[in-house]
Amino acid sequence: MKLNLENDYAYRIILKFTQSPEGKKFRSKDLSDELVIPERFTYRILRKLLMAGLVDSVRGPKGGYVLAMDSSEITLYHVYKAISGDIEINNCLQVDGVCEYLGNQSVNCIMHKELCRIQEVLVDEFKAVTFGDLIEKY
């Protein structure tokens, strides 16, 4: 698993919200300019965060985007999932994943079981870190 540029940008956007006064609204363009993210990319990320319920959109001349949850409730996992879906470190760990070693058999190989265990640890670690924690630590 590798975090891609979209994940990185999404983390920076949420971090910007959490470092700002509660309820502060940001326009997509302002976030784009300040965080040096292409505007179309910023808008696409904000739409995904909106659909995931992490941000709200406020219409009007004084509108923009605002956090929908307290920063102590938003985890690294929430943001990752909003952008990329579930964390899957190998294709065989998908719901309908097929063990590439055993072919299309219904039995999973030893690697599948160990990768599944490792993935669970990784997901738990992503869920354990909130943006509120990050602000307090640094």
Higher pLDDT, 109 or 121: 121
Q: Does the predicted TM-score (pTM) go above 0.85? A: yes
Domains of the chain: 5-87+129-137 (1.10.10.10)
DSSP 8-state code for residue 57 = E
DSSP 8-state code for residue 58 = E
Q: pLDDT tens for residues 55-103?
A: 999 998 889 999 999 999 999 999 999 999 998 887 776 655 556 655 5
pLDDT cut 70: percent of the chain above it = 87
CA distance 56 to 75: 17
